[in-house]
Structure 1
Amino acid sequence: MPPDTGQLAVLTGNALKGHSRYDNPALGKTLRTLLNRLEEIGVLAWTMSITRGEASSIAPSATFTERVQAAGISLEDIGRLPGEEVILLSRKFELRGNVEDGKREAVEYTDTPATMAMREVMRDLNTFLAGADITFVDDGGDPVDTHQRTLRRHFTLRRDDAGERFDRCGRLFGGFWQYLKRDRRGGIRINGEKVAVLDYASMFPRLAYASVGAVPPEGDLYAIPGLEEYRRGVKLAVNCLLFDDHTNRKSWPADLTLASGTAEGAALPEGWTVARTRRAVLDRHPALAPCFGTGLGYSLMHTESMILVEVLNRLKAQGIVALGLHDGLLVPHAKAEAARTAMEEVGRKVTSMSLPVTVATLG
C-alpha cells in the first residue's frame, strides 16, 4: 500500500538496470523516460532526489486520481506481472571488521535443479493463492490490499560463507496477512469464513532439540524459573543465543533491555544479564548447550521453512487455502483440524519428533 505521504519511492539510476535476476529490465533510462512523459501529460508529480543513494519519489496528480476514481478502478484491477524471482538469496553487509549494519545485498546465483524445483513450488503456490477467495472485513484501520499474495522464499548467506547455498533461512515473505498486526488478522475471510490460526508450540527450541537428537521436556519450553512472566523476553533471548555465531556476547539487543517489566513489553527484568539468562535456560534445557554460539538459528529457520512449504503444498492438494506465518498458518475455521493433522504429520516426518500444534479462532 502507498505510504501516508501519498508518495512512492522509486529508483531511477542507470546502475540498477536489469543486471541481475532480481531487477526489472525497465529500470534506468526506460523508466526515467516514462516518468518524464507521464509528468508532462499531468499524470504524476516526480520529485527527483539530489542526494546520492537516496530514492526519488512519485505521486499521482489530482486530475489522474479523479479519473481513476471515476472509472471505478480498485486494487482488484492492479496486479503483478508473472515471472518475478521468488527464490531470493542475500548476504549481510559487513562494516568495521565483524560489525554488521543490518543491511543486505542481493546475491546473484547460478540455478541448479534444486533452485528450479523450489521456484516451481513457489509459483504453483502463488497461482493457487491468486485464485483464492480471500477478503478483509473493514475494521476502520489502514487499507488492506488482499491482492498482495505473492510469496517469496528468502535465503541468507552468513558473512563467512564462501559459496552459494540454500540451507539457511528460506522463510516466506510477501503476503499481506504477514504484515497485519495480530489483532487485525481476525478481519481476514477465506471463502467468506472466519479464520483459525495454527502455530507450532515453542517451535525453535523444539527444532534445536531435534538437531541434537534429544527429547524436550513437557510443557512450554520458554517457561524458565524466575522468568515466568517474561515469556516473550525469554523467546527473544533464546533466539539470540541460537543465532549468535560466537559465545562471547556481553549484552542484549535494545529490545531485550527495555525495563518494561512485563511479558507484553518483550523485555527481560533488570539484572538478567546474558550470562545469568544463559545459565537459567541451560538449567532447564541442558541438552541445548551445543546449540548456542554456533549460528544454528539460520539452519533451524530453514528446517522451519521446509516444514511450512510442505504443509502448504499438502493443503493445496486438498483444495484448502492456507496463509503461511513462518511457524504457523491461517486457514478457514472449518479446515482447522485438517490443517493441524497436516502440520503434525509433516513436523514428525521432517524432525522425527512430535511438534505440538495450537489452534485458535480469530474474529
Structure 2
Amino acid sequence: MSHSTERSNGRAYGREDPQAIPPTIFLDPWLTTEGDAAKALADDIVERVERGISTAMTRKARHLAIARRRLVVENITANIATLALSPHLDPGNHLAVATAKTRPTRYDREDYPRRLLATVLEALEDQGFLIRHPYVFKQRNTTVELTGDLLPSIRRHEVRLADIGRVRGAETIWLNARTGETPFGNQPPSKCLIHYADTPATVMLRAEMERINAYLNQSDFRYDGEPQVPVSLRRMFLLRSMEEAPAFDLSGRLFGGWWQDLKSDRRHLITISGEPIADLDYSSCFANLAYIQTTGKLFQGDPYDIPGLEDHRDAAKLAMLSLLSRSHDMRRLSAELKEALPEGWTAKRLVESFANRHPALAESFGRDIGVELMATESRIMVALLLRLETLGIAAMGLHDGIQVAVSDRGRAAEVMEEVSERLLGVALPVKEKPIKRPPSELLAVAA
C-alpha cells in the first residue's frame, strides 16, 4: 500500500492532507499488562508476532530477544487497551510513536528496548493488528491506527482497565522550552523537552508528585463502576526559550489524569468511594490571579462580564486567557477565538473592550504573563492536594479546581480557601459547579 494513499474510515492521510489526520495520543512506555485478561491478550499477540519473525541466533540469544520483544508487545497491548476502553479517549484516535534513534533522556524508560519498537510495530501490522502511518516532516509523528479486528479481541478476552498496570519510575517533573519555530496548521507553538540535572528543588518537586500519585492511586476513583488505569500525574514546566537555563517557575500545571479530559456530560458517572462527585473550582481563577499579581487585590465583580459578551462567558474567558498569554499585541483573532465570539467582533474591538473593563490589566495584555499565572495556579493545586491528603479527602485535581465526593465538598471548599489565602495573602473565592446529570440521578444526589 502506498503511504501517500493510506486510508481509514474513508479518510486519506497523505502528505497533501495533514488536516485529515485524526487526533493522537502518545504511546506511554510505562504501561504494561497486569491482570490475567490483558496478559492473555498479550500472549495471543506475542505468539502471532513471533510466528512472523525469523532470526538466525543462538538459543540463549533468541530467548533474550523474545523476552525483549514481549516487553514491547505488552506495552503496546496496554496502550491499545487503554485507548479502546478509556472514557476520556476516542478509540478512533491514533497512537503517536517515537521510533527515531535518539539518545536516552531522563524521560525515557531505561529498560525499554526502543530499537525494537519499529520492528514490533511492523510485525503487528503484518499480522493485521494495526496500520502504521509513517512520520511526515513537520506534519506528524509515526502514528498507529487500531484495526477493526483488534477491538473484538479485547472484548473476547474481557479486558478491563483494571488489568492495565504501570511500571514505577516515570519522570513526573517535565521541562519544555519554546523552540521559536513557526507551528504548522493550527498547532500551538513548538516546544522541546529539556534534559536537566537534578537540584534540591527538583528533588522536592518530584517527592511532592510521588506523594500525590500514591495518594490518588489508593483512592477509589471509578467511572461507571469501573476502576481506571493507574494515575501518574506530571507537572509540565516551561522555559520561554531554549537559551534559558533550566528553571521551574513557569507553568507547572498538572497533566495525566483521565478525569481531566473527560467530557462534562460524562462526569456524573464518576464516583469516589461509591459516592457521586461535587465539582469545586476557584471562581474566575485566571483573571483573579492576574489582579492579585498586578494590584494585590481580587477584582470586585465578574471579570468576564464584558459589554457585548454577556451571553458569551466562555468566549470572554478564552479572550482573557489569550490576551494574558500572548507575547505580542493581538492584531487578529485566532480561529478558535473567532468561532467563540459573536458575529462582528474583531481583534481591535476585543482589545478595546477588555482594556476598558480592566484598565488595571491593560498593560499586561500581550506580555506573556499567562505562564506566570499558571505557575501560581499550579503551586496552589499541589499544596491543596497535599493538604487534602493529610485530611483523608480524595480529590481529582483540575487546573483550577477539584472533584471530591459529595460528602467532602464542604470541608474541601474550606481547605481551598485556606490554601489560597496562605499562598497569596488573599483567599480566592470558591464555587460549586453543577454536574450535568440525567434527571433520574438528580433526586438521588439531592437526597
The normalised TM-score by structure 2 is 0.69
Query: Secondary structure of 1:94's partner?
Result: coil
Q: Deviations over 1:266-298 (max 9, x none)?
A: 32441x333332222232222212322221111
Question: 1:27/1:347 Cα in 2 relative to 1: closer, same or farther (>3 Å)?
Answer: same
Q: Does 1:95 align with 2:181?
A: yes
Post-superposition shift, 1:77?
A: 1.6
Moved more, 200-209 or 102-111: 102-111
Q: 1:29 to 1:229 in 2, by over 3 A?
A: same
Q: What amino acid is aligned across from residue 267 of structure 1 in structure 2?
A: L
1:299 maps to 2:372: yes
Q: 1:113 aligns with which of 200, 206, 230?
A: 200
Given the alignment of the two structures, is residue 284 of structure 1 paired with residue 365 of structure 2, yes or no? Answer: no
Please tell me the residue identity of whatever aligns with 2:107. Y
- The equivalent of 1:261 in structure 2 is none
2:421 matched residue in structure 1: 348
Q: Aligned equivalents of 2:108 and 2:289: distance in 1?
A: 35
- Structure 1 stretches of 5 or more lacking a match? 139-143, 259-265
User: Structure 2 residue aligned with 1:81, among 164, 167, 177?
Assistant: 167
**Equivalent-residue separation in structure 2 for 1:210 and 1:178 (angstroms):** 26
Match status 1:221 vs 2:303: yes
Aligned-pair distance for 1:159?
A: 2.8
Give the equivalent residue in structure 2 for 1:141: none
* Structure 1 segment 38-49 matched on structure 2, within 5 A: 45=129, 47=131
Cα 1:7/1:288, change in 2 over 3 Å: closer
Retained in 1: the 8 A contact 2:125–2:132?
no
- Please show how residues 96-175 of structure 1 align to structure 2 within 5 Å: 102-137=189-224, 146-159=228-241, 162-175=244-257
Change (3 A) 1:326 1:5: closer
> In 2 relative to 1, CA 34–201 (structure 1 residues): closer, same or farther, beyond 3 Å?
same
Alpha-carbon offset, residue 353 of structure 1: 1.8
Match of 2:105 among 12, 20, 36: 20
1:220 match: secondary structure: coil
Residues 1:214 and 1:35: Cα distance change in structure 2 (over 3 Å): closer
Note the C-alpha offset of 1:218. Answer: 2.5
* Cα distance in structure 1, aligned partners of 2:393 and 2:213: 14
How big is the shift at 1:80? 1.3
TM-score (norm. length: structure 1): 0.84
Q: Using the alignment, how far apart are the partners of 2:132 and 2:298 within structure 1?
A: 56
Q: Deviations over 1:122-165 (max 9, x none)?
A: 11111111121111127xxxxx8722521111111113752111
Any idea what the Cα deviations from partners look like across 1:302-331, whole Å, max 9, x if unmatched? Answer: 000000111111111111110011001100
2: CA distance, partners of 1:200 / 1:229: 21
1:253 to 2:301 alignment = no
CA distance in 2, matches of 1:346, 1:241: 27
CA distance in structure 2 between the partners assigned to 1:323 and 1:50 by the alignment: 36
Post-superposition shift, 1:102? 2.6
Contact 2:324 2:369 in 1 (8 A): yes
Q: Distance in 2 between matches of 1:337 and 1:151?
A: 25
Q: Is the 8 A contact 1:195 1:361 kept in 2?
A: no
Percent identity at matched positions? 36
Q: For residues 198-277 of structure 1, what are the structure 2 equivalents within 5 Å?
A: 198-246=280-328, 248-258=329-339, 266-270=340-344, 272-277=345-350
Q: Kindly report which structure 2 residues correspond to 1:25-64, keeping only aligned pairs within 5 A, or say none.
A: 25=110, 26-32=112-118, 45=129, 47=131, 51=135, 54-55=141-142, 57=144
Contact 1:75–1:147 at 8 Å: present in 2 too? yes
Q: Structure 2: which amino acid aligns with 1:357?
A: V
Q: Distance in 1 between matches of 2:326 and 2:146?
A: 42
Letter in 2 for 1:20: T
CA spacing shift, 1:288–1:37, aligned 2, 3 Å: closer
Matched residues in 1 for 2:203 and 2:338: separation? 43
Conserved? CA contact 1:134–1:189, under 8 Å: yes
Matched letter for residue 259 of structure 2: W
Given that 1:10 and 1:58 are in contact with CA atoms closer than 8 Å, whether structure 2 keeps it comes out as no
Q: Which amino acid in structure 1 is aligned with residue 195 of structure 2? A: E
Return the offset for 1:56.
5.2
Give the letter aligned to residue 400 of structure 2. D
Amino acid across the alignment from 2:109 = N
Deviations 1:176-216 (A, max 9, x none): 10010111111100000010000111111111111123434
Task: Give the number of equivalent residue pairs.
Answer: 343
Q: Distance in 1 between matches of 2:377 and 2:93?
A: 37
Q: CA deviation at 1:170?
A: 0.6
Q: Is the 8 A contact 1:148 1:176 kept in 2?
A: no
